[in-house]
Amino acid sequence: MRSNIKIAISLSVVLLFAGTASAQAGAQLRTLVVNDHSGKVALFQMDDKTYIDLKRLVQIADGSIDYQGNQIVVTVPGPIAHAPTATEPEGSNSSGLTRDFRKAAIEGISLMREWASNLANAIQNGYPVSENWVSGYRARAQNGIAIAAAARSSDADRNAYELLNHEFEAVQEWSNKLLDARKSMNAAKYAMSASALQNDPLSQKIVTCGRFLGQVLASGTFQDDPSCH
């Protein structure tokens, strides 16, 4: 069995350069091994310190990232205490999630978070927001959900996908709501109050479900929660 490990990292001291490190001088592509999971990651040297892409690290570890105030909370599965026997395939039990689905679902959640966070930032700062601008984020998230759907191979995967899809529908509803507010000039309340978006019931539902799904995918065991319905 596995136990989850949570690591809280202050935003003021962590350097994130997802998708940019490989393009910078001094970056090297190396194989990273986390709890027997391995994958390629860009490694960057600066001032006698070594930096890697945090998002890629979490993907390799089959973990999840959650943003809480000025902290980034990384949840990764702990070491395997008792490995399954050779005759017991991964995901064979009724609640076990398969590795391919977990990785695809984690990426889907990341794309939804990117969509929601960029839209919220634009609305709060009074930036112009159009349907064409939002549609790019929505399309990438929708594609991520479709990849997760294709990766389903167990009952647990299918059950978890239903929650993942509900989360996508909630983000889409929330996105449409903000776009309508912007069109009708009712979005000023979000710019005037930093807590207006956070206190929105639909926003809270999305955040709660997203955190729950991150924990479920990190644990590898399906669970249900009312926030994702």
Strongest mean pLDDT among 9-13, 25-29, 78-82: 25-29
Show the domain range for 42. Answer: 1-82
3-state SS string for the chain: CCCEEEEEEECCCCCCCCCCHHHCCCEEEEEEEECCEEEEEEEEEECCEEEECHHHHHHHCCCEEEEECCEEEEEEECCCCCCCCCCCCCCCCCCECCHHHHHHHHHHHHHHHHHHHHHHHHHHCCCCCCHHHHHHHHHHHHHHHHHHHHCCCCHHHHHHHHHHHHHHHHHHHHHHHHHHHHHCCCCHHHHHCCCCCCCCHHHHHHHHHHHHHHHHHHHCECCCCHHHC
Contact 176, 170 (CB under 8 A): no
pLDDT top residue among 39 and 97: 97
Residue 103 has pLDDT above 80, yes or no: yes
102 shares its domain with 4: no
7 shares its domain with 40: yes
114 shares its domain with 214: yes
Domain boundary among 38, 54, 82: 82
Measured CA to CA, the distance from residue 56 to residue 192 in angstroms comes to: 36
182 shares its domain with 109: yes
Number of domains in the chain: 2
104 shares its domain with 129: yes
Reported as a single tens digit per residue, the pLDDT across 164-220 is 999 999 999 999 998 888 877 766 667 667 677 888 899 999 999 999 999 999 999
Segment 82-107 shows an average pLDDT of 70
Residue 5's pLDDT is 53
Domain boundary among 62, 82, 102: 82
Domain boundary among 82, 113, 129: 82
116 shares its domain with 7: no
pLDDT top residue among 224 and 35: 224
